[in-house]
Amino acid sequence: MYHQKKTIVNYHPHSGWLSFPAKREKRGHDSASKFQFYPGAKHRVFFKTINFIISVGVMLAVLSIFPFTAAAMPGPYSWLFESLKKRLVADGFDEQRIDQIYTAPNIEFAGETVSNYFTYKEATLNYKQFTSQKSITNARRYLKTYQNELTHAENTFGVDKTVITAIILVETRFGTYTGNNNILNTLSTMASLKNHANRDVLWREYLNSYKLSRKKYDKKALRKANWAYRELKAFLSYTAREDMNPSGIYGSFAGAMGIAQFLPSNILTLGKDGNKDGTIDLYTHADAIASIANYLKHYGWKPGIDRKNAFTIIYRYNHSKYYVNTVLKISDLLKG
Ligand SMILES: [Ca+2]
């Protein structure tokens, strides 16, 4: 989405490496952070109440039994997710799980992240960096390091390993920039903009210094809210299926995840378990490689594909002709 000049960031979910530099690698697959540490909302209200009405001694006793209670307060504006939670439950998600998820300590209305959708204009992207000698040397090293995974994917899905490598280079620089935005907060915030009150908060608190038309903002927010709600549902289904903690997964500000920068809806349907460990985790190279190959095959990639068809299929991955030409050029250089 960043790849077309003067386009507001909107259409393409990838490019976590461009959105914000990754400060740290975060992983969503942390079995130690499942939900047993996060008491439900009712418990928190209960403990808050006794803080005021009973003696300090009793309070300390309670806290010694539930030491994480005090730390489990969701972040600013997280109450704005109440109607979103109800909607998810009405759409079939387990109420208890939803309550647990939305009381995680790092849950917050991601106003700053989501405001990017409404204010950001793309700067010209320097695609040349990806075809520099240094980048190609790194790509050759990647081909060698993940030779087994890439060859397996090429044999299984019929997609050139040089193309897979090129996509991983441009999307996340071989997995080094996967984005540091909390996916759950980002998608939840965007989906919650269906509510007028939530749109007001974003408008008032985060967009007041920008010259936007309120009418255009509302129209765009509603469109993005519908899109984000579909992605949020896919994200919650995916994390449930893979037994991951949804509040611990980080990616691009558009909700794209992992080394391959897949949207949740794509992970759910086209993700592949490349290393056969029983989990589809796109923060592992083997799974990312297999998933990219499967994605391209799904959209029609065949061994010996001609340039025109290759272009069309890679364009599906990222709607930018600059992006596609760069990927194809990297692939050519790696073959040469
Ligand atoms: Ca796996």
Q: What is the pLDDT of residues 177-219, one digit of tens each?
A: 999 999 999 999 999 999 999 999 999 999 887 778 899 999 9
| CA atoms 248, 190, 172, 24: torsion sign | negative
**What pLDDT does residue 74 have?**
57
Query: What is the share, in percent, of the chain residues with pLDDT greater than 90?
Result: 68
**What pLDDT does residue 75 have?**
60
Mean pLDDT is lowest, of 5-14, 70-79, 314-323, for 5-14
The tokens describing 229, both together, are 């709600």
**What pLDDT does residue 78 have?**
66
CA of 282 to the centre of ligand 1 (A): 8
**What pLDDT does residue 20 have?**
32
Cβ partners under 8 Å of residue 6, min gap 6: 121, 122
CA of 140 to the centre of ligand 1 (A): 24
Residue 68 has pLDDT above 50, yes or no: no
- At 78-134, the pLDDT tens digits run 679 999 999 999 999 999 999 999 998 899 999 999 998 888 665 556 889 999 999
The average pLDDT across 296-320 equals 96
Q: What ranges make up the beta strands (E) of the chain?
A: 181-182, 250-251
The average pLDDT across 284-298 equals 98
Mean pLDDT is lowest, of 125-139, 141-155, 276-290, for 125-139
CA of 203 to the centre of ligand 1 (A): 41
Contact (Cβ atoms closer than 8 angstroms) between residue 111 and residue 189 = yes
**What pLDDT does residue 117 have?**
83
CA of 258 to the centre of ligand 1 (A): 12
CA of 106 to the centre of ligand 1 (A): 26
CA of 294 to the centre of ligand 1 (A): 14
Per the prediction, the chain carries an average pLDDT of 82
**What pLDDT does residue 79 have?**
78
The average pLDDT across 131-153 equals 98
Please report, for residues 84, 193, 195, 196, the alpha-carbon distance to residue 200 in angstroms, rounded to integers and kept in the order given: 16, 9, 9, 6
Structure pTM?
0.77
Residue found under tokens 């799904």: 298
Between CA 313 and CA 236 the distance in angstroms is 28
Residue 73 has pLDDT above 70, yes or no: no
Contact (Cβ atoms closer than 8 angstroms) between residue 261 and residue 267 = no
CA of 277 to the centre of ligand 1 (A): 5
| CA atoms 17, 22, 25, 27: torsion sign | negative
Domains of the chain are 16-30+75-335 (1.10.8.350), 39-72 (no CATH)
